[in-house]
Each structure stands twice: as structure tokens, then as C-alpha cells.
Structure 1
Amino acid sequence: MISLAVSLLLVGCGEQSNDASTSNDSSPDQLISRATAPTIVWFLENPDALEGTWKLCRSNPGEHGSKAACVNAGQAHERVLMLGRERALSSLKQ
């Protein structure tokens, strides 16, 4: 029982540290300009942010295309097209 509680606590801590770097209310401009880019998994878990960031990146690929957030958004977008959101997420979380 105690080990289960400790395990859940540790898992929760890991997830929280990933989410703390990028909140759901960040605009695409803010996501692109951050020092630490959101991960592909984060974009898959936040479809509105993925859509907005991907649109911004594609609207000006010369300026934004090589930025880490755009690369990750592009990878997430491609995975959604090929696999669908749920399969893409499960394939990356294994």
C-alpha cells in the first residue's frame, strides 16, 4: 500500500515537471520563443497549442521553421496525420 502511494507520487512529480515548463495558456509566439521547447508529447496532449503553433510555423518557415518548437510541432502534426492522436501518444509513451 505504501509502495503504491510512493510510486504514484513519484509518477505525478515527473509529469508535473514536464508540464511546468509549458502551460496550456501559452500563445504560439510564446511557445516558439521559449528557451526550452515543448516536446512532441506535450503538443500531442495539447491539440489547440499544436494547431496554433503549427499554423504560425508554416506561415513563416523562413523565420520560425528551424526553431525547436516548430520542429517538435511539425513532428507531432505528422504523427497525428499518420497515426491519429491517441496512437501517436501511446507510441511515444511506451
Structure 2
Amino acid sequence: MIRPAFALTLFVSLAACNDAGPPAQPTAGEASQKPKSRTVLQFLEDPAALDEAWARCRNDPGGIGDTPDCRNAGHAKERIMMVGREHAIEVLKR
């Protein structure tokens, strides 16, 4: 009888330790510090930013590869390959 009671007490104690509650919501100051994602046009107009973002995104496709910045950098790269930088900028500015 002692063993089941001990196991139950241990289980209840461990279950109580995992009650972390809901995740903390970012405050207004923290939310404003989050960098805004760049658009396809911004990437086309700034080749250095495009190269930097594209290098980060290709290096971690499973982690940051699905962020708005990575998707926009990918679209900018596709447009450059298809029609060239100048034409892609011209079309997006219309």
C-alpha cells in the first residue's frame, strides 16, 4: 500500500510543477521593437539587404525560412531572375 500512495504523491507533485500558466503577452514597448518585415520592392531597391536576408533564410529554411522577410526575399530573387532588377522595380512601382 505504501508504494501506490508514494507513486500518486510523486505524480501529483510533478504535475503541479508543470503548471506554468499562459505565456506572457508582449508589452506595447516590446511589440514596437520587433523589426518590420521588408517588402519585395524594398529588397529589389537594396541589393545588400536582399543578399543578407537571403543568406540567412537559405541557411535556416526550417526555422526562419517561412517568415515574411524570407518569403519576400525569395519573391525578389525570383523576379530578378525572371525579368531583371530594373524591370521588376518598374513594374512594382506602377
TM-score, normalised with respect to structure 1: 0.62
Deviations 1:63-84 (A, max 9, x none): 0111000000000011011111
Q: Secondary structure at the match of 2:37?
A: coil
Percent identity reads 44
Q: State how many pairs are aligned.
A: 61
* Mapping for residues 23-62 of structure 1, pairs under 5 Å: 34=35, 36-62=36-62
TM-score, normalised with respect to structure 2: 0.62
Structure 1 partner of 2:15: none
Q: Does 1:92 align with 2:92?
A: yes
For the pair shown, which has the larger CA radius of gyration, 1 or 2?
A: 2
Query: Which structure 2 segments of 5+ residues have no match?
Result: 1-33
Q: Secondary structure at the match of 1:81?
A: helix
Deviations 1:17-40 (A, max 9, x none): xxxxxxxxxxxxxxxx62x21010
Deviations 1:50-75 (A, max 9, x none): 01100110111000111000000000
Which letter maps to 1:62?
G
The separation in 2 between residues aligned to 1:38 and 1:93, in whole angstroms, is: 15
Q: Does 1:83 align with 2:80?
A: no
Q: Secondary structure at the match of 1:62?
A: coil
Structure 2 partner of 1:67: 67
RMSD after superposition: 1.0
Query: Which structure 1 segments of 5+ residues have no match?
Result: 1-32
Structure 1 runs (4+) greater than 3 angstroms displaced: none
The separation in 1 between residues aligned to 2:60 and 2:66, in whole angstroms, is: 11
The separation in 1 between residues aligned to 2:84 and 2:54, in whole angstroms, is: 16
